[in-house]
């Protein structure tokens, strides 16, 4: 719990206990459970109102406990970060935010963000055995026992889904061959607001919009499920990046290593994606991966492009 001396919100231990109970109910079908090992009240105005990636890095460097398999959750009063989230193209690696009022191409920051999370492959990208990029941050108003519609504890569920390696269900909604890289989440043309039962933004594609999925932006009372494909992905990402017995320890050396490193940074994002060939192309920084899932072949020769975009708030 991160606060400042003038903090106006009142977080109780009952709220935190209810949050853990909510997480265990939400993740129980995925055979994932959480236990509260420690609670610390941190009085630091610099961290109570998160304003940039540097503050997040400093906070984690100073207060993170455990190893890569330990989930550190920070509860703060405000999250004011800047993200540029494109509606098209492969899912952005760090645009993982749950916002009460999100629209179109960029996140609407007028009311601030409700939560933000690191992603598991950041641990490999930074090269740190216990990388700083390993935490979930949520706004205090999202905890249970509060009146707003997003105060049933589901923001934490959403952000921890990212911590396990899930994307938004609406990621890359313009191109059905990318999506969120889980084949049993129907395509959706942008994030959901409220709980629009029967929403079908792509009538020509299978399934209604997954408005009840934890990885959409629907109101807390509307979301209640992960799909079997998302469950499989979370477990595989856990084994690949966080499980100390099975996780990736580094990138393999070889010919064209600089190109291979860039390829692996993208392809390791997706558990089902393995590098089958790396070759130079007219467009540098391009490789090919074969993308498969246990539900069948989703795409072959998937192009992985690594032109990184800079955001005003940095990468989280």
Catalytic residue positions?
Answer: 159
Stated as kind and residue range, the H or E segment containing 277 is: strand 273-277
d(C-alpha 295, C-alpha 169), whole Å: 17
Instruction: Return the sign of the alpha-carbon dihedral for residues 183, 162, 80, 216.
Output: positive
- Helix, coil or strand: residue 231: helix
d(C-alpha 130, C-alpha 159), whole Å: 20
Residue in 106, 109, 126, 110 with CA at minimum distance from that of residue 118 = 126
For residue 289, the Cα-to-chain-centroid distance in whole angstroms is 22
d(C-alpha 70, C-alpha 90), whole Å: 28
Q: Which residues pair with 98 in a beta bridge?
A: 115
Q: How many CA atoms lie within 13 A of 231 on its CB side?
A: 13
d(C-alpha 239, C-alpha 248), whole Å: 9
């Amino acid at each position: 719990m991160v606060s400042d001396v003038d903090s106006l919100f009142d977080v109780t231990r009952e709220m935190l206990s209810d949050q853990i109970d909510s997480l265990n109910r939400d993740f129980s079908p995925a055979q994932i459970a959480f236990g509260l090992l420690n609670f610390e009240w941190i009085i630091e105005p610099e961290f109570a109102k998160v304003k940039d990636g540097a503050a997040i890095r400093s906070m984690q460097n100073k207060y993170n406990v455990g190893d890569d398999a330990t989930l550190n959750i920070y509860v703060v009063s405000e999250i004011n970060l800047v993200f540029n989230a494109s509606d098209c193209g492969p899912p952005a690696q760090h645009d993982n935010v749950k916002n009460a009022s999100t629209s179109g191409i960029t996140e609407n920051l007028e009311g601030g963000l409700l939560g933000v999370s690191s992603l598991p492959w950041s641990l490999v990208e930074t090269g740190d055995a216990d990388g700083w990029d390993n935490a979930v941050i949520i706004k205090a108003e999202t905890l249970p026992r509060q009146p707003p519609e997003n105060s049933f504890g589901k923001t934490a569920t959403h952000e921890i889904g990212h911590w396990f390696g899930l994307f938004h269900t609406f990621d890359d909604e313009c191109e059905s061959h990318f999506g969120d890289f889980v084949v049993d989440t129907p395509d959706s043309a942008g994030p959901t607001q409220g709980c629009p039962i029967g929403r079908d933004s792509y009538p020509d594609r299978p399934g209604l919009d997954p408005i009840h999925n934890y990885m959409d932006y629907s109101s807390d009372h509307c979301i209640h499920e992960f799909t079997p494909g998302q469950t499989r992905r979370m477990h595989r990402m856990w084994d690949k990046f966080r499980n100390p017995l099975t996780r990736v320890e580094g990138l393999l050396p070889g010919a064209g290593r600089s190109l291979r490193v860039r390829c692996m940074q993208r392809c390791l994002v997706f558990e089902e994606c393995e590098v089958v060939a790396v070759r130079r192309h007219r467009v540098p920084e391009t490789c090919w991966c074969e993308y498969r899932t246990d539900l069948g072949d989703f795409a072959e020769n998937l192009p992985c492009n690594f032109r990184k975009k800079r955001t005003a708030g940095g990468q989280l």
